[in-house]
Amino acid sequence: MKVHADDAGNVRLHSGATTQSSRKSARMSDDHATRTPSSARWPQGLLFLAGFLFVIWQVINASHQAPVVAVGILISFVLAFIFVRRGSVWRITVTPRTIFHFAVYTGVFLVELVKANINMLRYVYSPRIDIHPGIVKVRMPLKSPIGRLVLANSIALTPGSLVMDLRGDELFVHWLDVKTTDPEEATQMIIGPFEKHLEAVFG
């Protein structure tokens, strides 16, 4: 119970229940505002992951027959639903900008993949193998778990480099032919091609 005097000098009593009710309503509004963005991203993340899984399905099967496509769509949406529902990792915001950067990232990854395979052929068929393998430390620029996962797999899938460990914001990579041991230079050479586009997509 609170005592309050108005401008006319009249003394009035106010119950604390009104204040508590107001605070409760404010907390409910804050909680709703906090949950809304995640709920809004739920369908977008579902469609993004389902589309990504369907592309992988098509690449593996290399068939455009109706039964194969139908089964691929079904499996992709079921798996995407399970992953998105059980965690918030895939609840990302899909916009024209993120789609553009993801498409550019895909092209950059394919270019880097071809370049890495050509280098491996050069090492294999060279009369004298002159390489300096080692582990280098590079900077991990991405903060989201899915972004870090995609970046780590991008490095691991290009021949000549393999992710060994992640400690905080530092990534340790086994490099078949170490060009530099400076973390910043190594970051630009290994992560540089992917960093800008993955950061725009996943953050």
Q: Which residue has the tokens 């499996």?
A: 75
Alpha helices (H) along 62-182: 66-86, 96-125, 145-157
Are 171 and 126 in contact by the 8 Å Cβ rule? The answer is no
Which residues on neighbouring strands pair with residue 134, listed in sequence order? 175
Q: Is the pLDDT of residue 30 over 80?
A: no
* Phi–psi pair at 174, nearest 5 degrees: -85, 120
- Give the whole-angstrom CA distance, residue 76 versus residue 74: 5
Q: Dump pLDDT digits (tens) for 53-84.
A: 888 888 788 788 888 889 989 998 898 888 77
Calculate the dihedral angle through the C-alpha atoms of 58, 61, 67, 73, rounding to the nearest 10 degrees.
Answer: -30
Over residues 1-27, the pLDDT tens digits come to 444 444 444 444 444 444 444 444 444
| pTM (predicted TM-score) | 0.62
